[in-house]
Amino acid sequence: MMKAVLGLEDGTVISGTGFGAEGTACGELVFTTQFTGYEEALTDPSYKGQILMFTYPLIGNYGVSGERFQSDNIHAEGLVVRETCKNPYHYKSTRCIHKFLEDEGKPGIEGVDSRMLTIRTRERGTMRAALITGNDDGEEAVSVARNFPQITDEELISLVTCKEPRFIPGSDGTWKGSSKRKHAVVVDLGIKRNIINNLHKRGIDLTIVPATTKITEIASYEPDLLIVSNGPGDPEKAIEAINAVKAFAGTIPICGICFGHQIISLAMEARTYKLKFGHRGGNQPVKDLVENKVFITSQNHGYAVDADSLDGTGLYESYINANDKTVEGVFHKNLDIFSVQFHPEAQAGPMDTEEMFFSKVVKVLGGEI
């Protein structure tokens, strides 16, 4: 048994039992409503700078296999749950979630009232937090939380982007179309592996480049498509990516997912803003305004595009969140530019959003769906 405490910037102190590594984690406390997928969530680079809390009370019951990782390591700063499973059962499991966090040097806390914390976050908005394992000094935790920078002031992209370009050839024999296989440059702002896998299996050659890659270098790859990935933090800090979208708009197709959706919108002179508590989980309803359909989607974002700011940009809403009417996707009236706020590759139950988005990618490249 290890002592642990969670302190919020509003003075809230929650004591619990620590697991994982001993130490201190700081960041925004955010909640996700997903029941499963903790391997995917913890290794999602978009959670950099955040302490992740699951609203579902029991986490870890099928263990950790490593097959669903979205990056090489955990990016969430810490984990908050009501209860963890210490003896998981699954034929692919190689370790429990306690060991997973310990191996990654990340602290966790259980035995907390996650329902109360979720309600408080929804009422007051996302707050800075400090998670300390190894002691239960609540005053220290609150002080650390209050002195930690706001996520709007942090530059997180450099912590999750790739260090150098890498080439990934598309899967052999899967490109369908009269033209030769196409090549996409992907600006890596913290890309999830499932996005890469979905592009690869459709036969698209990929060059993954760092977030700070210059426009001239991107042009040297002679891409047929520019893709802007998901990532953490404030989209206004992705200056090079915004400039890249501006430079290639109208010359080649451009698409984006989540953070990439926000960056494309900023590049076309729209505005973004920070949501009160964000959208995170696998049950977010999104309405397709063109087809008049509703999809259940996976999401992880704390910023959104200002719908009113789209006027005069050439961008139009293609999807909206059925709960709060926020912008969930845009397309350009005259250019091959489109993006979605949700994660089409995440397969939050049905696979229809995957086919919807990636089929459109193939189509703009001249391939057959």
Active-site residue numbers?
258, 343, 345
Would you say 168 and 208 are in contact if contact means Cβ atoms under 8 Å apart? yes
Whole-angstrom Cα distance, residue 99 to residue 86?
9
Query: What are residue 27's DSSP bridge partners?
Result: 129
Which residues fall within 8 angstroms of residue 3, CB to CB, at 6 or more apart? 15, 17, 18, 133, 134, 135, 136
Give how far Cα 219 sits from Cα of 71, 124, 184, 214, 286, Å: 27, 45, 11, 9, 35
Query: The tokens of 171 are what?
Result: 């899967």
Q: Is 33 exposed, middle or buried (CB count within 10 Å of its CB: 0-12, 13-18, 19+)? A: middle
Q: Which two tokens stand for residue 71?
A: 């990056």
Do 359 and 367 touch, CB atoms closer than 8 A? no
Taking the C-alpha atoms of residue 20 and residue 110, their distance in angstroms, rounded to an integer, is 11
Q: State residue 104 phi and psi, 5-degree precision.
A: -90, -5
